[in-house]
Structure 1
């Protein structure tokens, strides 16, 4: 609303492309975000979109700068967890842990607090504190039977930490629980379960090529 109509439409088109491409083609999404940023760098939504596009392409320093700019413009704390995860991406897990203890966390909604817990557990693992990571993930949200948008990822992270700690039976149980909650396929819990059960997947295309080669003329 702060931009002239034609410019606003140009910016909006680029932001739509960022949203459309960020999961499957993050580099293209990043390119569109840079165009939007050149057109309207003083719009918070543009800075936020640029941050997520940079984050998706593992440009963590750039992402962090954009998220900080968006936060200054809006005063919102909702980007706090992803900002902390950028610190992890930059090899600074201790900073992510420090952010997990800041007052901003208490201002997050439930989804944001769960996201912050996931980031903090990841930071613990980065620092080699596996037992502490497991404890960090143990929470009322993990224990709840209610399925929320974050449930599958939380259960998956807990299962993965348990597996790394050598607690295979417990890990299998929690991968199964993650799969149960994963309605949109946001995790590969089914594959992890299959691996634990000793199931091997065969690439059908590779297998077909091998059969064709075996049936062909050796002198071809």
Structure 2
């Protein structure tokens, strides 16, 4: 796959660059460029990111960062079996537990919520940092919902992190998941409260909490640009053309109904002269 000329490979994280030092220089540069493209495209063009990840994996399958990137690309394309295999490979190479919640979520994607819950209760979870533990809680709650256990999902999300007034990178998503679970359980007033709290924490728009809140409040958003275009179109269709008299002056524009009336009067006169034919209805 072609690499844009502005991509040099130097854009990658320094830790990843250090991993690539085990490769020959030219090969390391090629792998780095493909990893940059994975990171650049994974949100807006997951399929494109997946393609670049496969190239990087073909070039350097024994580099943990490459296997991890391949896992993220597969995950973004809902290829959960492949993503799980890549995450497991990366974990074996590094011993790092950061991917544990993602691995559990892959189990959910494969239709195995019970396995995800087993992973949520494993000793490895206690070794995760705070962000990882919150992610694991979100996955566990999702698994409970997969199994139809709405009340258990709500309880799973109730935590000191949820009750905290401080805003962390995970706060908006945690509040959003809690609000969504409440709504699914029919607790609409509580859900509205937590969607509002999610909006307060969601400074970068990582969730659609504002839309969900507006929906609960019965607010409908109208695309002003589309409406203006439609109005312009209606004006263009309904506006009658101006007539021009012989002396070059513009004739007065008349309403359609008056034009019809005058036409009917004229046809009535002509009809009388030509054998009494009735004027045509409009």
Which has the higher relative contact order, 1 or 2, with Cα contacts under 8 A spaced 6 or more apart? Answer: 1
1:54 aligns with 2:77: no
1:109 aligns with 2:102: no
Q: Unaligned 5+ residue runs, structure 2?
A: 1-20, 239-282
Whole-Å Cα distance in 1 between the matches of residues 83 and 144 of structure 2?
22
| Corresponding position of 1:214 | 234
RMSD across aligned C-alpha pairs, in angstroms?
1.3
How do 1:1-220 and structure 2 match up within 5 A? 1-217=21-237
Q: Which has more helix, going by share of residues?
A: 1
Secondary structure at the counterpart of residue 198 of structure 2: helix
Secondary structure at the counterpart of residue 134 of structure 1: helix
TM-score norm. by structure 2 comes to 0.75
Deviations 1:55-89 (A, max 9, x none): 00111111011001101111111100000001111
Greater Rg by CA: 2
More moved, 200-209 vs 1-10: 200-209
Whole-Å Cα distance in 2 between the matches of residues 217 and 185 of structure 1?
40
Q: Unaligned 5+ residue runs, structure 1?
A: none
Deviations 1:136-179 (A, max 9, x none): 00001101111111011000100010111111111111111111
Secondary structure at the counterpart of residue 31 of structure 1: helix
TM-score norm. by structure 1 comes to 0.95
